[in-house]
Amino acid sequence: MSQATEHGEKSPVETKEVFERVARTYDRLNHLFSFNADTRWRRRLVAASETAAEGGSVLDVCTGTGDVAIAFARSNPAARITALDFSENMLANARAKIEAGKLSERITLIKGDALSLPFQDESFDVVSISFGLRTLSDRRRAVSELARVAKRGGRLLIMEFAPPPATPFGLLYRFYLHRLMPFMGDLLSGYRVSYSYLDTSIAAFPVASEVPVLMADAGLRKVETERLTGGIAYLFRASKP
Ligand SMILES: C[S@@+](CC[C@H](N)C(=O)[O-])C[C@H]1O[C@@H](n2cnc3c(N)ncnc32)[C@H](O)[C@@H]1O
């Protein structure tokens, strides 16, 4: 089952298993563990796209339970939104929320692989991925796929957790991330090791130094970095020339 990955972490098959398992409790635990900051961060990502009320097409990759896609739909009533993930259970949750929000006409859900996007070059005005990049086995390829499907002049947004910063707050966060969250997550989701994987994947990805390089190497320009909540998470924004 295991295949080698670029970072010696989980294979795509193992990653998929993790998300199929945690899908049921994903939203609740996300809000709980981030003290609801995740909702604020996703709103920030949507605002950073600067598409509000402009229409256009948006692709949200690794959409999970669809919160970013839903936030785009709410902030921009004229936009056409496509949201992609490879986990059936995550997509089922997204579908239920999209139907409950009467947004089925506006958001198209697609089951697919972030590393081989089923879209033609230059298809979308905005392409986003939130908290998905670190879970991918080949991040370089992922960013180049995101850049490929963005239109010229389009925007690319990447939001991701960062390893604990070297500050007193970071020390506290380190304890929270490595001890409390995996313990509580595995307990509340009912699956041992799933949440331990999430914290390991956060610690293993130095986003602040790597993501701007990956974006620039993918041919993107005007790369901007925004530190969120004391450096727990980062938002990266770039344009396709
Ligand atoms: C941590 S969740 C993030 C979900 C959502 N974007 C959010 O902000 O909460 C990561 C998501 O990436 C998806 N994923 C991981 N690898 C993938 C791949 N190769 N192709 C498509 N989706 C993938 C998982 O199924 C999961 O739903």
Spell out the per-residue pLDDT of the chain, length 241, in tens.
Answer: 333 334 446 788 888 888 888 888 878 777 777 777 888 999 999 999 886 456 799 999 999 999 999 999 999 988 999 999 999 999 999 999 999 999 999 999 999 999 999 999 999 999 999 999 999 999 999 999 999 999 999 999 999 999 888 888 778 888 777 777 777 777 777 766 666 677 788 888 899 999 999 999 999 999 999 999 888 899 999 999 9
CA distance 111 to 11: 18
Provide the pLDDT for residue 5: 39
Q: Domains of the chain (ranges plus CATH)? A: 36-163+205-239 (3.40.50.150)
- Probe ligand 1: pick from 58, 135, 146, 235, max atoms within 8 Å of CB? 135
Taking the model in full, what pTM does it have? 0.90
| pLDDT at 1 (0 to 100) | 30
Q: Which atom of ligand 1 is nearest to the CA of 137?
A: 19
Whether 85 is in the pocket of ligand 1, judged by its Cβ within 6 Å, is yes
Q: Give residue 4's pLDDT.
A: 34
Taking the CA of residue 142 as reference, the ligand 1 atom at the shortest distance is 19
Estimate the share of the chain in helix, then strand, then coil, as percent rounded to the nearest 5. 50, 20, 30
φ, ψ at 85 (rounded to 5°) = -155, 160
**168: CA distance to ligand 1 center in Å?**
30
Q: Is 6 left (phi over 0), alpha (psi -120 to 50) or beta?
A: alpha
> What is the structure's pLDDT at 51?
66
pLDDT at 195: 67
- Give the residue among 239, 214, 34, 209 at the shortest CA–CA distance from 131: 34
Confidence (pLDDT) at 8: 43
Please give the order of strands across the beta sheet that includes 221-228: 107-111, 80-85, 57-61, 124-130, 150-161, 233-239, 221-228
